[in-house]
Amino acid sequence: MSQPWDFVLVRSPDALSAFADHVALERDTFAATLSGERAETFSRIKVEGIRESRLGIVVGYDPTRGGPRVLGRHAIADAGLYSVVCAIQNLWLAATAEGLGVGWVSFYREEFLRDLVGMPEHVRPVAWLCVGAVSELPDVPDLERYGWRHRSPLASVLHEERYGVSASVPTA
């Protein structure tokens, strides 16, 4: 077991503000590539969680953890990164079970985030998670609720034995 993850808890108002400002610039850069209805839809998606949650968790991936011979990594180069993402999902599920909201911020440059929290060069910042109390946990994710993208039906992503062969969707 390599446990290639690190969690940096960010509560400093200055750090939260610096990250929020950086995200706003990256968000504007992306927004400039949109037009019409897509631009309008994007403008409604909430990003204030960085300041509102008052807790950011930066999750890093350290590929050196566990030494040079980590089980599985010889065949699947990204196995360590996948472990980090599983740790994020576990954190998310545990937080949700405790009534906390979690949001994954995706508008940042890795170099900026690495510098902001002082991660060594070999550690890759994989996620900034906003974690905090919420009045309710919506049944529909924000990106779907605001019309950015809808979930794919299970039947469109479930295959039987081979990719491209439709599978029966379980009913119970």
pLDDT on residue 43: 87
Block residue for tokens 């599978």: 167
Q: Check whether 9 has a pLDDT greater than 70.
A: yes
pLDDT on residue 172: 65
User: Distance between CA atoms of 78 and 168, rounded to whole angstroms?
Assistant: 30
Tell how far CA 28 is from the center of its chain. 19
User: Distance between CA atoms of 52 and 25, rounded to whole angstroms?
Assistant: 18
Domain ranges of the chain: 5-157
Per-residue pLDDT tens digits for 64-91 = 887 666 666 677 678 789 999 999 999 9
pLDDT on residue 69: 67
Per-residue pLDDT tens digits for 47-64 = 778 988 989 999 999 998
Cα maximum dimension of the chain: 52
Q: Is domain 5-157 annotated with CATH 3.40.50.2000?
A: no
